[in-house]
Amino acid sequence: MTLKSSDPTGLGQEPDTRTLSGKLGPGAIVFMVVAAAAPLTVIAGTVPLGVSVGNGAAYPASYVVCTVILLLFAVGFTTMAKHVDGAGAFYTYITKGIGRHTGLGSAFLALLSYTAVQGAVYGYIGAALGDFVTSHGGPEIPWYVYAIAVVAIVATLGYRHIDLSGKVLGVLLICEVGIVLVIDAAVIGSGGGDTGLSTAALDPGEFFSGAPGIALIFAIAGYIGFEATAVFRDEARDPARTIPRATYTALIVIGVFYAISSWAVISAWGDEGAVAIAGENPEGMITETATKYVGAIAGDLVQILLISSLFAAVLAFHNVLSRYIFSLANSSALPARCGTAHAKHASPYVASIVQTVSALVLILASAVAGLDPVTEVFAWFAGVASVGIVALMTITSIAVLVYFRRTRIDRRPWNTIVAPTLGLIGLGVLLFMTIANLPLLVGGSDTLAALIGVLLVGVFLGGIAVAVLRPHAATLLTSAQKETSR
């Protein structure tokens, strides 16, 4: 039986529990993970940057490379998932593989990384809403007002049962993916631009031209959140089967979609033309493509669905962060109050409220500092998240190898040695390139890049300090949950 906490309101409401519940299948989880990846936002915002400052018309191949690396990573990740009971994703795996101290350091690094990417999206959506309203004759309102309004909506959905968020994300995701597929079909059906369909992505020489390292950094940013399939473990219908299926499906769907759609956008303008428009008008590249090949209405729809894409992403990240906080609270690393689930909605509602407050703090601090919502809030926070997430995946790869080497619980070479090792090598290269190019990701400032590095390392060490000061913290989540059920 699960122990229930006392009534926190004193109003006679049904008491909270410390477990989450749900019947999410692979499809619902894939919806939330792919929504967090914000497909339309990637095609509209990241692809032009990858084309203009990366490796040009060969940029779509970067998504193929990243997908292969992450699929190799996923082999060990999902194999170990069968032996990990907690829903803490990265930090749970790292704790079980390497140890409690590194695990808690990784947990705090994950909180910072996901909080940063959520802050980045709030900046972008605030600016996008402002631009949309003013471009249609509306009043000019500060970006942070729109961002705070979005926070209120996200907070409401995050407070309720996960099924509601899943349904909302499903509708929004279908719309944004649908418009991009329509554009893809129109471009491919017409045979591309004047020079035909692009073949640059198939040429290794083209791939390694320009700055392929930067191209891979922009590409890997589009996958942030895919590993969150494991965060929904407690709310999955059949975790042992659902989580692996959702992970592989999400990766393949994201990778194929990005590769084909970026190739179609490049083909629409020709190799040289695509590089030119990506450099001159990156924000409007997808809108102009839609208008040229589908019609003016499609261009307007892209503007609207870009906003819904950003909303879907921020809602998905809110759900992920809430569950990270919930898991950490139930492993004694954070205040126990954050580890209570709503009796009616079975949601981590206290953690959701905490996450809402942290988002408001980031938005208000950025507004007071006078930061530009796109070039500073979005770019800087996304830079923090990129380094943090790739570092977490690299550490998790090491944890997988160590775990199977130590326990011998699974002796399949491909699942426990070969694939995880290849994934580790690939992620190690990506991490090196991300760190080396961090100044570019934050506007060319070496000082800001250094400060971000210090912040990331400091938070990781802070998690280790918590492990030292609180010997019972993260002794594993399942142990904490078992204690609460006695």
- Provide the β-strand partners of residue 193: 196
At 25, the pLDDT band (50, 70, 90 cuts) reads low
Give the C-alpha separation, 284 to 151, whole Å. 26
- Provide the β-strand partners of residue 17: 341
- Taking a C-beta distance cutoff of 8 angstroms, is the pair 104, 113 a contact? no
- Helix, strand or coil, per DSSP, at residue 13: coil
At 322, the pLDDT band (50, 70, 90 cuts) reads confident
Tokens describing residue 197: 């369909």
Residue 415 DSSP class: I
Residue 284 has pLDDT above 60, yes or no: yes
At 344, the pLDDT band (50, 70, 90 cuts) reads low
pLDDT for 419 equals 96
Q: Among candidates 427, 470, 467, which has minimal Cα distance to 105?
A: 467
Count of CB atoms within 10 A of residue 413's CB? 9
pLDDT for 281 equals 81
Residue 450 has pLDDT above 60, yes or no: yes
Give the C-alpha separation, 339 to 330, whole Å. 5
Q: Among candidates 242, 210, 238, 197, which has minimal Cα distance to 50?
A: 210
Tokens describing residue 253: 């769907």
Q: Is 17 left (phi over 0), alpha (psi -120 to 50) or beta?
A: beta
- Provide the β-strand partners of residue 129: none
Q: Do you know the residue count of the chain?
A: 486
pLDDT tens digits for 52-83? 888 999 999 999 999 999 999 999 988 988 78
Give the C-alpha separation, 400 to 415, whole Å. 10
Alpha-helical (H) ranges within 190-295 are 204-207, 212-221, 239-269, 271-280, 285-293
Residue 267 DSSP class: H
pLDDT for 366 equals 94
- Residue 454 makes CB contacts below 8 A (sequence gap 6+) with none
Q: Among candidates 482, 477, 486, which has minimal Cα distance to 100?
A: 477
pLDDT for 158 equals 73
Which DSSP string corresponds to 455-479?
A: HHHHHHHHHHHHHHH-TTTTS-HHH
Residue 11 has pLDDT above 50, yes or no: no
Lowest mean pLDDT among 81-85, 319-323, 377-381, 454-458: 81-85
- Summarize the confidence of residues 107-132 as an average pLDDT: 89
Residue 352 has pLDDT above 90, yes or no: no
Give the C-alpha separation, 259 to 267, whole Å. 12
**What's the pTM value of the predicted model, to 2 decimals?**
0.81
At 484, the pLDDT band (50, 70, 90 cuts) reads very low
pLDDT for 384 equals 84
